[in-house]
Amino acid sequence: MTDALEARRRAILDELGVTAYRRRGSAAGAVRSATDEPAAAPRVAPPPGPDWPELAAAVAGCTLCALHRTRTHTVFGTGDRQARLLVVGEAPGAEEDRQGEPFVGRAGQLLNSMLRAAGFARAEVYIANVLKCRPPDNRDPNSEEAALCLPYLRRQIELVRPRVLLCVGRIAAQRLLGVETPLARLRGQVHELGGVPVVVTYHPAYLLRSPTEKRKAWTDLQLALRLLGDGDRT
């Protein structure tokens, strides 16, 4: 890493309130060593199914659940459709519903900073939500809404074929992995979805309310980077 890039990374980490340390040896705690972590999924052709235009059209016209009655826009997803890292959030908020793009409010700005600290521009990753429509009053998605909407996300994952999935927040992780495990127990280890490693971290909105947890989120990002083979970025 050049001096200029290192200085920029440290400035972003300072913004996040995280002290930068270069990892030496294996990480402590629940994080397994690189030799114990599953190999990244090969980038093979996706299974048959709707391609991007058909999938986007299906989401835009979806009326499977009642959320279509209150939405302004569906929020399909954004970013590099051949990204190595795919970020999964919970559901659109008010600003996302207005603009039709995920993570565009204050939480989105923090997510962008986190990604830059890890060496990624927003455009270099793919970002999508479990739900494509905003639940009224930003309530948690219910099980029926998630079940009806998850096939859209799963197809996006199949089409992108990421090396690593990064789930931000308890709801996204539980719905995608099909578990009820608390976020504290989901963090710090490598999960798997269809052969793709999954890392779980805090939602940026939570980090805005609890800035002292940013250090833990940075540890989670480091784990994702190691799975990507980008440990030297940190």
Query: What are the tens digits of pLDDT across the range 188-224?
Result: 999 999 999 999 999 999 999 999 999 999 999 999 9
CB burial of residue 77 (10 Å; 0-12, 13-18, 19+): buried
What residues have CB less than 8 Å from 91, skipping those under 6 apart? 129, 130, 131, 133, 134, 135, 138, 141, 171
Delimit the domains of the chain by residue range: 45-233
Per-residue pLDDT, averaged over 74-89, amounts to 98
Token pair 């940013």: residue: 214
Question: What are the residues whose beta carbons fall under 8 Å from the beta carbon of 178, sequence distance 6 or more?
Answer: none
142-170 tens-digit pLDDT: 999 999 999 999 999 999 999 999 999 99
pLDDT score recorded for residue 16: 54
Contact between residue 176 and residue 95 where contact means Cβ atoms under 8 Å apart? no
Q: What is the pTM of this model?
A: 0.83
In the prediction, which pLDDT does 230 show?
A: 75
d(CA 185, CA 70): 34
Listed range (37-46, 138-147, 184-193) with the worst mean pLDDT: 37-46
Looking at the chain, the whole-number percentage of residues with pLDDT higher than 90 is 76
Please give the pLDDT value at position 45. Answer: 78
116, 189, 205, 213 from 27: Cα distances, Å: 22, 11, 27, 18
| Per-residue model confidence (pLDDT) at position 26 | 30
How much is the pLDDT for 25? 33
In this prediction, residue 7 carries a pLDDT of: 59
Q: How many other β-carbons are positioned within 10 Å of the β-carbon of residue 172?
A: 28
Topology adopted by domain 45-233? Uracil-DNA Glycosylase, subunit E (3.40.470)
Q: Which tokens in the block code for residue 60?
A: 């835009």
